[in-house]
Amino acid sequence: MNAPRPAAVIAGINIRRAVGQPRVLLVALLLPVLLILVTGLVGGRVRAPVGVLLEGRGPADARLVTLLGRSGALSVDVEPNRNALTDDILRNRTVAGLVVPPGFGAPGQNSALRVGFVSQSSQSEAVIARTGVTGVLNVLAAEQLAGDAADRNAPARLTNLAIGSVHAASPLSAYSYIGPGDTVLFMGLTLLILSSSLVESRRLGMLRRVLAAPVRTTSVIVGQLGGLVVMGIVQALGLLALGRIFFGVHWGDPVGVALVVVCLAFAFAGVSTLLGTVARSYEQAIAAAIVLGIAGGMLGGSLWSLDNVGTVMRDVGHATPQAWAMDGFVSLVYDHSGTAGVIGDAAALIGFAVLFCSLAAWRLRAACQTQ
């Protein structure tokens, strides 16, 4: 028997065993949908409220407030002073504050189109607000450059600016951060919980019976990892489709999304297999999977944006694959980055995948030899 066929058979058996477990179906499908829906309804206002403090009366101040108000993603409250701005943020009347310095948008000073952005919210609305503000600033910059270009009779320069500003100002779904966050969180939970199946296979001596056939250990390793990867990708595709159809999430470039999902699935498959070779019992594997999955999701920004935590916590979070996957999704959904924009995040996920899959293969090979 050649190696690919036994590996495919083992992967298929593992998939059928997983699908037959009600616990896995609950974690993989029902809980993500309920969490997305409940979180979005409770915390997802489509127009994120933003407070604006005008410290001066620059030529572009009125235009800035007008464009912010017209944005489909934002609602605007003009604040009288810094104390009022801070109070509204702390009381959650606004999700973010915008501090506009004196001389904002002065003629001939495009670099002056800079504002202070303040937020202490852990909700996805803070990310929506930041993206909406960036889009409006892009529009203002485009208008200034358009005026300069018109003076120089350079119409070709205007076309690209107009296209870019309209694209950046497009409204976002209230679920635009919740959808990716729950996809990453529950991919991890599902695949980690499936480590319990490997523990049971070891306990029941199934590995010994498989190796009694003309099957190489490499086929067992490939089949174990391959089955988990397939299940992770299928779950992600289902959640991506639900997010797009029912919650209006625009995921961005399909190739970039696929790259992030596949790399993340390999990383989680490695962690799951490694856990399945370390855990001593079915219950221990389940308990460890839940702790690792939720802790990794929290540290990695699945439950709140890492833009709202300190530098140390952000660096700690990026010791998990979840953080790099969320960075990739945020680039795709909010920044409209193409595949090139997530290459760095995918490279980090590949590094996690290589590390965890190598450790898992080493441990599983040792487990097969001791059966």
- pLDDT tens-place string over residues 245-255: 887 888 999 99
pLDDT greater than 90 at residue 261: yes
Quick one: 158 and 206 in the same domain? no
pLDDT greater than 90 at residue 267: yes
Quick one: 159 and 90 in the same domain? yes
315-320-326 Cα angle (round to 5): 85
pLDDT band at 174 (very low <50, low <70, confident <90, very high): low
Greater model confidence, 312 or 145: 312
pLDDT band at 349 (very low <50, low <70, confident <90, very high): very high
d(CA 229, CA 226): 5
pLDDT of amino acid 91: 76
Mean pLDDT for 113-127 is 68
The CATH code of the domain that includes 121 is 3.40.1710
351 CB burial (10 A radius; 0-12, 13-18, 19+): middle
pLDDT of amino acid 4: 55
Quick one: 138 and 192 in the same domain? no
Identify the residue whose tokens are 């915008």. Answer: 98
Within 13 Å and on the Cβ side, how many CA atoms surround 344? 8
User: Taking the alpha carbons of 11, 14, 16, 19 in that order, is the dihedral positive or negative?
Assistant: negative
Quick one: 105 and 182 in the same domain? no
Mean pLDDT for 26-42 is 65
pLDDT of amino acid 236: 93
pLDDT of amino acid 166: 30
- pLDDT tens-place string over residues 295-348: 999 999 988 878 767 788 889 999 999 999 999 999 998 878 889 999 999 999
**Which residues are CB-neighbours of 281 under 8 A, at least 6 positions away?**
199, 203
pLDDT greater than 50 at residue 163: no
Domain residues for the domain of 305 are 4-41+175-369
Domain count, the chain: 2
- pLDDT tens-place string over residues 187-228: 998 899 889 888 888 887 777 777 777 778 888 889 999 999
Quick one: 153 and 224 in the same domain? no
Quick one: 146 and 195 in the same domain? no
pLDDT of amino acid 167: 33
Secondary structure (3-state) at 370: coil
**Which residues are CB-neighbours of 317 under 8 A, at least 6 positions away?**
299, 300, 301, 306, 309, 323
Quick one: 88 and 153 in the same domain? yes
What average pLDDT does the structure give for the chain?
Answer: 79
pLDDT greater than 50 at residue 89: yes
- CB-based contact 300:325 (threshold 8 Å): yes
Quick one: 307 and 326 in the same domain? yes
Quick one: 149 and 194 in the same domain? no
Domain end point (choices 124, 146, 168): 168
pTM: 0.70
Quick one: 320 and 359 in the same domain? yes
Domain end point (choices 145, 168, 191): 168
Domain end point (choices 141, 168, 195): 168
Quick one: 272 and 356 in the same domain? yes
Helices (H), 4-81: 4-19, 22-25, 31-43, 61-70
Mean pLDDT for 58-84 is 82
Phi, psi at 174, each rounded to 5°: -65, -15
pLDDT greater than 70 at residue 371: no
Quick one: 184 and 294 in the same domain? yes
